[in-house]
Each structure stands twice: as C-alpha cells, then as structure tokens.
C-alpha cells in the first residue's frame, strides 16, 4: 500500500466515524465516495456494514447503482441478478 492508498483509506475510515458519530445513513458515505471519484470494493462495503450495523447486500446494491462498485465482472453479474429480487435481501 503506497502513501496515496493509505491516505485514501484513512479518509474512508474518517467518513465511517463521521457517519457513526452524527447518526448519518450509509448513503452519506457512498455519496462522499462518489463525490471524491473513488470506488468501493466488497471489503469496504463489509466494513461499512459492520460499523453501521447494516446489511452488506444493501450497501453493495447501492454502490452498484451509483456505479462506484469496484469488483470483478463475476461479482458484478451476481449483484446485477440479485438486484431483480432486491426485496429478499433487504
């Protein structure tokens, strides 16, 4: 991990802390990620999920819809299929 990636991860962690302390929804974090022209990977989605006690699928679906999900094509294809039955996962 280089310095740029480290700084980005620190800023990402700070967004999670800010959302927790101010009671902001997970969408705040995802909108900030998009505004900063970053992407979110499944591991980061799980980190948000664990920190805010929210279903990981909900975060992955929203990230996919915002076009900020950084995952391999196989994972994206699975999420795309699951989006059709979104209500089962939320």
Per-residue H/E/C for the chain: CCHHHHHHHHHHHHHHHHHHHHCCCHHHHHHHHHHCCCCECHHHHHHHHHHHCCCHHHHHHHHHHCCCECCCHHHHHHHHHHHCCHHHHC
**The domain containing residue 21 runs over which residues?**
3-89
Counted domains in the chain: 1
Mean pLDDT, residues 53-80: 94
Q: What is the pLDDT of residue 1?
A: 72
pTM of the model: 0.89
Stretch 52-78: mean pLDDT, rounded? 94
Query: pLDDT tier at 90 (50, 70, 90 boundaries)?
Result: low
């Amino acid at each position: 991990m280089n310095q740029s990636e480290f700084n980005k991860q620190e800023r990402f962690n700070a967004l999670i802390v800010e959302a927790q302390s101010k009671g902001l929804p997970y969408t705040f974090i995802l909108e900030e990620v998009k505004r900063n022209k970053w992407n979110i990977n499944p591991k980061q989605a799980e980190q948000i999920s664990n920190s805010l006690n929210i279903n990981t699928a909900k975060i992955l679906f929203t990230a996919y819809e915002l076009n900020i999900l950084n995952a391999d094509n196989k994972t994206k294809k699975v999420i795309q299929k699951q989006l059709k039955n979104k209500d089962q996962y939320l």
